[in-house]
Amino acid sequence: MSDEIKKGLLGIVVDETEVSKVMPEINSLTYRGYAAQDLCAKCKFEEVAYLILNGELPNKNQLKKFENQERKERKLSNTIIQDIKRFPKTAHPMDVARTAVSIMGLEDKETKDNSTEANMRKVMRIFAKMPVALAAFYRARKGKKIISPKKNLSFSENFFYMCFGKVPNKEIVKAFDVSLILYAEHSFNVSTFTARTITSSLSDIHGAITGAIASLKGPLHGGANEEVMHMMKKIKKPENAFKWINKALDNKDVVMGFGHRVYKSGDSRVPTMREYFGKVAKLKKDKKFEKIYDIVEKVMIERKNIHPNVDYPTGPTYHLMGFDTDFFTPIFVISRITGWSAHIIEQYAANKLIRPLAKYKGNQHRKVVQLNQR
Ligand code: CMC
């Protein structure tokens, strides 16, 4: 047995997957064999959610059935609605997401059933209810009336409607849909690996997704999209950007929204999201953050050869859409539930307990001295 330590499991292949493939050498990402960019161009989010969960793109009938199921499952229990109203208004919405899925696990009659069929039904419930729970908190913490979901609205339209009481124009909804498609799945990232690790002890899907949400919250993972916006707000205006980013690099600060464990010469999701960020900025007639974006990116590449990751364009895009900054990572959650769930189901299907080793470097055999002699 080798004693070599691979901190952060750097470069270690721990299992196989059919869900997605990250190809940094050709700057590409495929879900079930389809390029994410191609899916963004030709599909809506629900089609991609179906693909990730079922392995194939749906035909019209399959999509209709899937959409009907999702819309039917949107309603929250009275308990969850009352709990959301009681949650501290200062709570981070990621903690609300984590708690909400945990409560869903208490309520779900199939929590103990880990068969693929039961898991698919549970996934649909979590997938449909999570945006509703988050939107309810979005309004409750502002003292606004909670808006019930509408069955005639798509997944994205309904989320806007429940948060803001109206659906924006088609281009904005498409940009949001694209962000959800790009966030849906990304192989063995830390939150997905967390979900698979929890699953590997044969625990349940609600627990695995609860753990995945906690993992996604961190600023080195999904939390980066919020940090990007905090950074852009600190920079304030394009004229400050060059000086600000150079100073940050002189101070050896970690710049959020840049760098990636797998992609070292650019994140394959960025060009598509950058394009939609530009479209949203144009529609909103607000180019300030786009200008800041370009300056910071240029300096990061010139000075450090570090490229933006997908959280860099999504942050300011969600800001321009009107979302509160602490809701950016929860939006990531409502999409990534699909990827996590596909991995959880894959893990159950060919499970092996995930149990790595550690090289011990603490004290060696010591004798216990009785309390009265210590
Ligand atoms: N700003 C400044 N320097 C950086 C950055 C950055 N964002 N990212 C990497 N570096 C430097 C790092 O300091 C190190 O330099 P040195 O070799 O001189 O010590 C070198 O690049 C290698 O970085 P690393 O931390 O060893 O690389 P990693 O693969 O362990 O980390 C990362 C990847 C994503 C944790 C890191 O790039 C980072 O902290 N980025 C900022 C947070 C972020 O944007 N996270 C989102 C990740 S992608 C989407 C998602 O999961 O949500």
For residue 260 and ligand 1, the question of a CB distance below 6 A is answered with: yes
Whether the per-residue pLDDT at 2 is higher than 80: the answer is no
pLDDT at 336: 98
Q: Give 20's pLDDT tier (boundaries 50, 70, 90).
A: very high
Residue 54 and residue 101 in one domain: yes
Q: Is residue 22 part of a domain?
A: no
- Mutate which of 261, 269, 302 for ligand 1? The one with the most ligand atoms within 8 Å of its CB, which is 261
pLDDT classification of 342: cutoffs 50, 70, 90:
very high
Instruction: Determine the average pLDDT of the residues in 41-54.
Output: 98
Q: How do residues 89-116 score in pLDDT, each as one tens digit?
A: 999 999 999 999 999 999 999 999 999 9
Predicted pLDDT at 190: 98
Pocket test for ligand 1, best of 309, 314, 329 (most atoms within 8 A of CB): 309
Mean pLDDT, residues 337-362 taken together? 97
Catalytic residue check, 324: no
Question: 290 with 281: CB under 8 angstroms?
Answer: yes
d(CA 212, CA 216): 6
In angstroms, the CA 95 to CA 73 distance is 22
Q: Are residues 253 and 236 in the same domain?
A: yes
Protein residue with least CA distance to atom 12, ligand 1: 254
Residue with tokens 């894959």: 346
Q: What is the CATH number of the domain that holds 256?
A: 1.10.230.10
Q: Note whether 89 and 109 are same-domain residues.
A: yes
Helices (H), the chain: 36-42, 45-54, 60-72, 78-86, 93-107, 116-140, 155-164, 170-183, 190-200, 205-217, 224-235, 238-250, 270-283, 288-299, 311-321, 328-349
Q: How confident is the model at residue 143 (pLDDT cuts 50, 70, 90)?
A: very high
What is the per-residue pLDDT for 36? 98
Does the pLDDT at position 332 exceed 80?
Answer: yes
Residue 360 pLDDT > 90:
yes
What is the C-alpha separation between 36 and 274, in angstroms, rounded? Answer: 14
Ligand 1 center to 369 CA (angstroms): 46
Task: Report, as an integer, the average pLDDT of 333-347.
Answer: 98
Same domain, 165 and 57: yes
Residue 1 pLDDT more than 80?
no
Q: Same domain for 241 and 191?
A: no
List, for residues 276-291, the tens digit of each pLDDT value. 999 999 999 999 999 9
Q: pLDDT value at position 331?
A: 98
Range of the domain at 258: 224-321
Residue of 83, 186, 204, 260 marked catalytic: 260
Residue 121 lies in a domain: yes
In a domain, 276, yes or no: yes
Overall number of domains in the chain: 2
The residue annotated as part of the active site, out of 206, 311, 326, 343, is 311
Q: CB of 49 closer than 6 A to ligand 1?
A: no
Average pLDDT for residues 186-198, to the nearest whole number?
Answer: 98
Q: Do 116 and 242 have their domain in common?
A: no
* 337 and 303 within one domain: no
Specify whether 339 is located in the same domain as 205. yes
Instruction: Look at ligand 1, atom 13, and give the residue with the nearest C-alpha.
Output: 254
The pLDDT-based confidence of 3 (bands split at 50, 70, 90) is confident
Q: Is residue 56 part of a domain?
A: yes
Q: Are residues 183 and 52 in the same domain?
A: yes
Taking the alpha carbons at both ends of the chain, their separation in whole angstroms is 39
Distance 259 CA to ligand 1 centre (A): 4
Q: Specify whether 177 is catalytic.
A: no
